[in-house]
Chains A and B, each alone.
Chain A
């Protein structure tokens, strides 16, 4: 079982956290800090395993991590997972990110945490490895993205809001307002 997946940068700023066991928010932050502390002081040419100690779970758990450019990918796993297998999995995950974002870099993770989560959800589910075949993962992610697009996505949400208003039988409003063109800010009015 995987107990937690943490991605943070060289300064310890979290980019994605995914706990498969409940920890309160402050505890989560503490775990991130301690993990960063442990991982960051290690050279790049030492092994990728760390005994987590008292951090999460105890002696049965290990931290398995990889360091890519500015980011650390840390998996906290118990003894039922193969150490080398998890290292491979991290690689698969990162390669998948690379495919989905086209030359992934830290900025992609910063601005699209939600999308990274969705990709991760196709790799690991509830702490168990769901899929290791990259093509399959990418295919599922893309199908879902396409579905989101067909619904108009979240970015076009305001347009959807307008269409909801239309359903109230109000005068027609053009649906595809280009948001970029409007640079007047209507003063806030009380919502109904």
Chain B
């Protein structure tokens, strides 16, 4: 048997490690996936073993596979196991894996809270460091809330290495748990002046991140940062601070003024380019913020621009890039100073580096003026032709459109030119931006009325040459342009020279290959064109043309009627019928043009984007209210639509519409206008466009005098270049004329007035080629001027917009783990609990699931799965059959355990806050839960005092306490995970009495010390086989109204047990407690003891000295205490499997002893849970009223228990390889139960 195990472990020596895995993958290049899947199978096998080294190795390999894209979340539980190893090597592997693959949705994260807390307060700085690093990657709101206080404590750690990590991680905590920001902020601020530069840098880093999102809350820190900026020599810190000032100055112009000088000094003095660049950036930000108030900073601007020019001219492409980037910021407020460097920027457009070209393009956007727009665009068009790669070409295209359309086409003097540019752009192959060009065409044609004639002509040409655009592929983005072209031609068809030809072009069979939405527009606009043709030829004696047109439509439309696209089909069939009907009428010589035109009467006006959104909701309008009664389910649904249809049919019929005589029509129109005028929701047409109703209102549109020197009828496409030439000539001419006039003027009023612009012409002088009336986009009346639309409601930083200058209120504290999970029950609270059951239930059920999951995994691990399951079922049956008994025993046994306790433990903070108000005066004082600690006997007299005290503080601490419960629950579930079967046998349905590991150590009127049972034991194996370390957590609570500081903790060492003191300290020196205590605050410190022999319980005498500082005085006080190390505290809960357990018992090395407990009234599973919890045992196996349990001491002693119960009598048979240890452990167990 033994040999088998040895063989098994030797076999494990040949497990692949990470290097082997990598090598294997490299050797299996052809069938990598297959190889990896076998590796994953191996890893799964390895993870099933209970050797932590093997597991860690497996997890390490998984981390590598995760990088290759394999989902390893299935191993999350194993990762947690490896994380909780006591050895740094494994712990680090576990945390690395966790940080790579855990995220907020990972459910096992819930199990890690306690483990992480332990690691955070570990005496080894690297354990703490590794935990902090890992946590920074997977912190969740729950973890942030539960650990915020622990991390805050670490911010004052003695080691700078830990301090800086703790400071940095606070940012993540703030993001996940914004309530922690205010309580933690004072300490964070303190760290700005930490003696260690690394910590300081971290603090600056965190505050900069915070301030970047919500700068106004950090303005008050400006003086501190200013001091840092002038004193620090660390470029990293300086850069961060300078960046921060860039964010702060827009809010406080006075700050900006103050900044200019030191910043310019830095610009002159620093040799670090990164710092120089950030300084320039911030000066720019300052100047932008000042630009409105103080114009006189031209010197600084000049300095910046000059420095940036140096950067741009540098051969280092990075500096060039950044120079251009910063330049674009200056451009916004001081375009003039940038424009003088146009040469440089145009030069950058030719750079081989795309990033730089893109940046230069950005700059161009701000550099155009009426004067140079055409020239710049011409240059860009050249680049478009040259550009390789569609990305850059698309970028150019969008830039050209951006530049031209910016601020409402401000710089365009000749729209004919612009239309030509747009048409030229359609020749780009493979661009994605067809829709962009299309929308520009539509926008210009709709809003610039003067250009419609020209636009329509161009669009007609486009439609005629559509085959050039759509030649290659259907999914060519450019065909979007045809959408615009068709619509423009149809809508403004009165401008068309030859509507027949265009109509013909729109009905070509090839159109059917276009995307559906374009075809639909084609069909609809064909109808518009048809109306135009009708009108044009009406009254002519020879109606040949009209009949030809009708016939054309009747011939071609069936093609569209067959379209697969619903929209196309519907429109086509409608229009086809309409045309057929019109043809009939025509044959009867009825004049129909007027009626047909009326179908398309009215003008579409441009509506501003988001206009709909900005309509204010009028008072008394509830948009969520039902207008009609909500339809009842029972109503028969197949009848209703019929009725509606029948009713509305006449309205839909188009043929009737055409028959309506004109008077009637006019009347209706009038009525509709009236109705619209009174309707606040109708977006009204502008006064000018209202006249369009009197169709044909063409004469109201200002007709442009088209310069006939432009060859409009050039077959193919127009050339925008010609416009450039023409424009130059025109300007020359104008200029000459103006000069003439000016000369005249000058002669008239010489000396009186001097015009500044005698030199190069200024912006204002360039008159547009023709007066254009740009129709502004419509906005609803009293629209709300809000810019909220751009803000992301999900931005996590929104929650961090917290005022930090307000003094901290009492209620604002980080949730602290308190020492005793007492349970209060009062009627008031009960009511509250009833009101929040949903949430709590959800939570507890979630946790239950969690437990179950953990259990399942454990079960899988064991081969005894089936067997155990059977046990469990038996047990469940057992419990189900005696529910009354269970309840009864509970009630009699412990008043302190109300049935709701399990739920309360999980009460979330918000609910707890609600509790605070309602449970102010609890009526009954519940018993303390009896702690099974031997210490309790000694401290029982303190207890009463404490109860009183707690009663007083109840209200205040309730919040914390609930929190604490929460932790403890976690603790249990953690244990469930770690201890495999231990809790698996405990029935979850029955609430366990709350158990605590904390016991009173000592207290006086100032301070209370609580000791946690040394449940966390570090055994340093290897070199120190015979010496073990025990960590003792002590909670210090300040009970007074004064400030407690300079706390020193000292223990009189015994031969066997010694307090671990830092290197260099004497054997009797005391340890400084690493924190101070403000009134009412408690905090936890951990002390490490080295212990030689563990077979006997130990008692150590100790003293705590501290200074009590109140407003008037400060006194030195001391408190004596006794530390009691029970033998139990040397035991570690270790899972053990039944076959290994059997082997152990068979080996014969163990010596036995036994114990009998009488009159134990608690249910058996409670008894087991108590032994597990207080004495660190785990259940190996349980059959009915008999259970075997196992634990191991830190020095490797095995302790086995066989617990049997019958009729209130419990007998425990125990075996251990160290009899005295066993004797003591049994004594302690006895003591535990003697108090129940």
User: Could you tell me if B5 and A165 are in contact, using CB atoms closer than 8 angstroms?
Assistant: yes
List, in ascending order, chain A residues with CB within 8 A of B23's CB. Answer: 111
User: Could you tell me if B57 and A157 are in contact, using CB atoms closer than 8 angstroms?
Assistant: yes
B230 contacts the other chain (CB 8 A): no
B87 contacts the other chain (CB 8 A): yes
How many inter-chain contacts with C-beta < 8 Å in the A-B complex? 226
List, in ascending order, chain A residues with CB within 8 A of B353's CB. Answer: 42-43, 46-47
Given A126-B169, A126-B172; A49-B198 close (CB under 8 Å): no
Among the listed A80, A129, A161, A171, which residue makes an inter-chain contact with B12, where contact means beta carbons less than 8 Å apart?
Answer: A161
Q: Which of B130-138, B639-647, B680-688, B754-762 contacts A (4 or more CB under 8 A)?
A: B130-138
Give min CB distance, A140 to chain B, whole Å.
7
List, in ascending order, chain A residues with CB within 8 A of B22's CB. Answer: 110-111, 113
Instruction: Count how many chain B residues have C-beta atoms less than 8 Å from C-beta atoms of the other chain.
Output: 99
User: Could you tell me if A165 and B9 are in contact, using CB atoms closer than 8 angstroms?
Assistant: yes
A99 contacts the other chain (CB 8 A): no
A104 contacts the other chain (CB 8 A): no
Cβ contacts B49-78/A at 8 Å (1 or 0 each): 101011011001001101111110000000
List, in ascending order, chain A residues with CB within 8 A of B226's CB. Answer: none
B263 contacts the other chain (CB 8 A): no
Q: Which of B502-510, B614-622, B1075-1083, B1139-1147 contacts A (4 or more CB under 8 A)?
A: B1139-1147
A82 contacts the other chain (CB 8 A): yes
Q: Which of B269-321 contact A (CB under 8 A)?
A: 273-274, 277-278, 317-318, 320-321
List, in ascending order, chain B residues with CB within 8 A of A1's CB. Answer: 209
List, in ascending order, chain A residues with CB within 8 A of B2's CB. Answer: 170-171
Q: Which of B53, B206, B320, B356 has the most CB of A within 10 A?
A: B53
Q: Which of B160-168, B445-453, B570-578, B876-884 contacts A (4 or more CB under 8 A)?
A: B160-168
A68 contacts the other chain (CB 8 A): no
User: Could you tell me if A82 and B278 are in contact, using CB atoms closer than 8 angstroms?
Assistant: yes
Cβ contacts A3-27/B at 8 Å (1 or 0 each): 0000000000010111010101110
List, in ascending order, chain B residues with CB within 8 A of A151's CB. Answer: 87-89, 1022
User: Could you tell me if B1144 and A85 are in contact, using CB atoms closer than 8 angstroms?
Assistant: no
User: Could you tell me if A49 and B66 are in contact, using CB atoms closer than 8 angstroms?
Assistant: no
Given A151-B87, A185-B14; A80-B243 close (CB under 8 Å): yes
Q: Which of A104-155 contact B (CB under 8 A)?
A: 110-114, 117-118, 121, 125-133, 136, 140, 143-144, 147-148, 150-155
Residue of B nearest to A16 (CB): B67
List, in ascending order, chain B residues with CB within 8 A of A18's CB. Answer: 100
A48 contacts the other chain (CB 8 A): yes
User: Could you tell me if A80 and B168 are in contact, using CB atoms closer than 8 angstroms?
Assistant: no
User: Could you tell me if A113 and B209 are in contact, using CB atoms closer than 8 angstroms?
Assistant: no
Residue of B nearest to A29 (CB): B69
List, in ascending order, chain B residues with CB within 8 A of A177's CB. Answer: 13
List, in ascending order, chain B residues with CB within 8 A of A127's CB. Answer: 136
Cβ contacts B142-168/A at 8 Å (1 or 0 each): 000000000000000000010011001
List, in ascending order, chain A residues with CB within 8 A of B12's CB. Answer: 158, 161
A26 to B70, CA, bound (A): 8
Given A49-B318, A162-B9, A191-B49; A84-B273 close (CB under 8 Å): yes
A176 contacts the other chain (CB 8 A): no
Among the listed A87, A112, A131, A169, which residue makes an inter-chain contact with B1198, where contact means beta carbons less than 8 Å apart?
Answer: A169
A147 to B10, CA, bound (A): 25
Given A26-B69, A144-B92; A186-B56 close (CB under 8 Å): no
User: Could you tell me if B168 and A50 are in contact, using CB atoms closer than 8 angstroms?
Assistant: no
User: Could you tell me if B9 and A161 are in contact, using CB atoms closer than 8 angstroms?
Assistant: yes
User: Could you tell me if A47 and B57 are in contact, using CB atoms closer than 8 angstroms?
Assistant: no
A46 to B353, CA, bound (A): 5
Q: Which of B300-347 contact A (CB under 8 A)?
A: 317-318, 320-322
List, in ascending order, chain B residues with CB within 8 A of A42's CB. Answer: 353-354
Cβ contacts A21-42/B at 8 Å (1 or 0 each): 0101110110000000000001
A167 contacts the other chain (CB 8 A): yes
A45 contacts the other chain (CB 8 A): yes
Q: Which of A173-192 contact B (CB under 8 A)?
A: 173, 177, 179, 182, 185-192
List, in ascending order, chain A residues with CB within 8 A of B51's CB. Answer: 161, 164
List, in ascending order, chain B residues with CB within 8 A of A167's CB. Answer: 1192, 1196
A98 contacts the other chain (CB 8 A): no
Among the listed B8, B17, B90, B208, which residue makes an inter-chain contact with A155, where contact means beta carbons less than 8 Å apart?
Answer: B17
List, in ascending order, chain A residues with CB within 8 A of B96's CB. Answer: 114, 117-118, 121
Residue of A nearest to B237 (CB): A132
List, in ascending order, chain B residues with CB within 8 A of A111's CB. Answer: 18-19, 22-23
User: Could you tell me if B168 and A128 are in contact, using CB atoms closer than 8 angstroms?
Assistant: yes
A47 to B198, CA, bound (A): 30
Among the listed B89, B104, B355, B1140, which residue makes an inter-chain contact with A49, where contact means beta carbons less than 8 Å apart?
Answer: B355
Residue of B nearest to A18 (CB): B100
User: Could you tell me if B355 and A50 are in contact, using CB atoms closer than 8 angstroms?
Assistant: yes
Give min CB distance, A74 to chain B, whole Å.
14
User: Could you tell me if A85 and B18 are in contact, using CB atoms closer than 8 angstroms?
Assistant: no
User: Could you tell me if B7 and A169 are in contact, using CB atoms closer than 8 angstroms?
Assistant: no
User: Could you tell me if B1139 and A192 are in contact, using CB atoms closer than 8 angstroms?
Assistant: yes
List, in ascending order, chain A residues with CB within 8 A of B1140's CB. Answer: 168, 192
A72 to B104, CA, bound (A): 30
Among the listed A48, A152, A157, A187, which residue makes an inter-chain contact with B318, where contact means beta carbons less than 8 Å apart?
Answer: A48
A148 to B92, CA, bound (A): 9
List, in ascending order, chain A residues with CB within 8 A of B581's CB. Answer: none
B126 contacts the other chain (CB 8 A): yes
Given A14-B68, A50-B355, A85-B274; A188-B60 close (CB under 8 Å): no
B1036 contacts the other chain (CB 8 A): no
Give min CB distance, B173 to chain A, whole Å.
10
Residue of A nearest to B72 (CB): A25
List, in ascending order, chain A residues with CB within 8 A of B15's CB. Answer: 158
User: Could you tell me if A82 and B243 are in contact, using CB atoms closer than 8 angstroms?
Assistant: yes
Given A47-B320, A47-B356; A148-B89 close (CB under 8 Å): yes
List, in ascending order, chain B residues with CB within 8 A of A153's CB. Answer: 89
B202 contacts the other chain (CB 8 A): yes
Given A82-B274, A125-B169; A148-B88 close (CB under 8 Å): yes
Given A25-B69, A111-B19, A128-B206; A140-B161 close (CB under 8 Å): yes
User: Could you tell me if A45 and B317 are in contact, using CB atoms closer than 8 angstroms?
Assistant: yes
A83 contacts the other chain (CB 8 A): yes
Residue of A nearest to B1140 (CB): A192
B1173 contacts the other chain (CB 8 A): no
A187 to B7, CA, bound (A): 9
List, in ascending order, chain A residues with CB within 8 A of B137's CB. Answer: 20, 126
B1137 contacts the other chain (CB 8 A): yes
Q: Which of A43-70 contact B (CB under 8 A)?
A: 43, 45-51
User: Could you tell me if A84 and B126 are in contact, using CB atoms closer than 8 angstroms?
Assistant: no
Q: Which of B86-118 contact A (CB under 8 A)?
A: 87-90, 92-93, 96, 100, 103-104
- Of the A-B pairs whose beta carbons lie under 8 Å apart in the complex, a sample of 13, sorted by A's number, is A43-B353, A82-B274, A85-B236, A87-B318, A110-B26, A128-B202, A131-B164, A147-B124, A154-B93, A161-B51, A189-B8, A191-B49, A192-B1139
Q: A46-B355, A83-B274, A118-B92 given; name 20 further pairs at CB < 8 Å.
A: A42-B354, A47-B317, A49-B318, A83-B318, A85-B236, A85-B239, A113-B18, A113-B63, A118-B96, A125-B165, A125-B168, A130-B165, A130-B168, A130-B202, A131-B164, A148-B88, A157-B53, A157-B57, A162-B9, A169-B1217
Q: Which residues of A contact B (CB under 8 A)?
A: 1, 14, 16-18, 20, 22, 24-26, 28-29, 42-43, 45-51, 80, 82-85, 87-88, 110-114, 117-118, 121, 125-133, 136, 140, 143-144, 147-148, 150-155, 157-158, 160-165, 167-171, 173, 177, 179, 182, 185-192
Q: Which residues of B contact A (CB under 8 A)?
A: 2, 4-15, 17-19, 22-23, 26, 48-49, 51, 53-54, 56-57, 60, 63-64, 66-71, 87-90, 92-93, 96, 100, 103-104, 124, 126, 132-133, 136-137, 161, 164-165, 168-169, 171-172, 198, 201-202, 205-206, 208-209, 212, 235-236, 239, 243, 273-274, 277-278, 317-318, 320-322, 352-356, 358, 863, 1021-1022, 1137, 1139-1140, 1143-1144, 1147, 1149, 1192, 1196, 1198, 1217
In order of increasing CB-CB distance, the 3 nearest A-B pairs are: A126-B136, A84-B274, A157-B53
